[in-house]
């Protein structure tokens, strides 16, 4: 019986992929990719010839029904994102929900994600944590930050380098300037950086040192 495979891809170093993931990407009928140009780099490295089909936030609402229909008809399909595990702040949820609703089998492989290395590396408690993904860019942003002021667990956020200083500043205002945090950049890449300190210290540092790359912010919970 055909199924949908969710296949994590490296968040940085292209060697961070499992043998099983490579086998499935070779064997499925086609692969849904967030950006086929980005995924083609991985495919070229591992000599994967499977056809890539674009599947991203701008077209997923229109295409999920057709994809599910194709799987139900016998096509094995894999879904990948540009980096990490599909569905985690990346397209995937809509397709999974559609397949589950139709009784189509879904199999998610364990593998790369940026949030776990950042959390463990932060030095903050990681026995209990909450993952917030990207904060709302405009509407609801301040409200969401205010709601987290009394969160006791370590909080994990994804953030753009262009909004990092603003986010750190707003978090410092709402949670306290001395609240401890860690900013992780370029996880598993050549210039990986994990910078720890108070929210105010980190905001000051990155206001003077322009951040680049993919960013994960871990913030201590209230005590």
173-213 per-position pLDDT tens digit = 999 999 999 999 999 998 999 999 999 999 999 999 999 99
For the whole model, what pTM was predicted? 0.92
User: Are residues 148 and 155 in contact, defined by beta-carbon separation less than 8 angstroms?
Assistant: yes
| Region at 74 (left for phi over 0; alpha for psi -120 to 50; beta for the rest) | left
In angstroms, the Cα distances linking 222 to 34, 50, 54, 150 are: 37, 48, 42, 6
For the domain bounded by 3-108, which CATH number is listed? 3.40.1010.10
pLDDT tens digit string along 119-153?
999 999 999 999 999 999 888 899 999 999 999 99
pLDDT tops 90 at residue 17: yes
Q: What is the pLDDT of residues 41-69, one digit of tens each?
A: 999 999 999 999 999 888 888 999 999 99
Domain 115-219 CATH class label: alpha beta
Question: pLDDT band at residue 216, thresholds of 50, 70 and 90?
Answer: very high
Query: Could you state, in order of their start, the residue ranges of all structural domains in the chain?
Result: 3-108, 115-219
For range 24-47, the mean pLDDT: 97
């Amino acid at each position: 019986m055909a199924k949908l495979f969710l296949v994590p891809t490296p968040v940085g170093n292209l060697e961070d992929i499992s043998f099983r993931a490579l086998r499935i990407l070779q064997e499925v009928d086609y692969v849904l990719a967030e950006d086929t140009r980005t995924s083609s780099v991985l495919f070229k490295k591992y000599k994967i010839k499977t056809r890539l089909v674009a599947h991203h936030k701008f077209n997923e609402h229109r295409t999920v029904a057709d994809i599910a229909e194709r799987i139900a008809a016998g096509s094995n399909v894999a879904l990948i994102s540009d980096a990490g595990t599909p569905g985690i702040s990346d397209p995937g949820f809509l397709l999974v929900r559609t397949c589950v609703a139709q009784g189509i089998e879904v199999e998610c492989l364990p593998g790369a994600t940026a949030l776990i290395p950042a959390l463990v590396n932060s030095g903050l408690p990681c026995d209990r944590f909450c993952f917030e993904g990207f904060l709302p860019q405009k509407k609801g942003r301040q409200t969401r930050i205010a709601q987290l002021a009394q969160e006791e667990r370590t909080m994990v956020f994804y953030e753009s380098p262009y909004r990092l200083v603003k986010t750190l500043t707003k978090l410092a205002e709402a949670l306290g300037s001395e609240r401890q945090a860690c900013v992780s950049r370029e996880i598993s890449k050549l210039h990986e950086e994990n910078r720890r300190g108070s929210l105010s210290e980190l905001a000051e540092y990155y206001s003077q040192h322009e951040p680049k790359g993919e960013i994960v912010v871990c913030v201590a919970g209230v005590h």
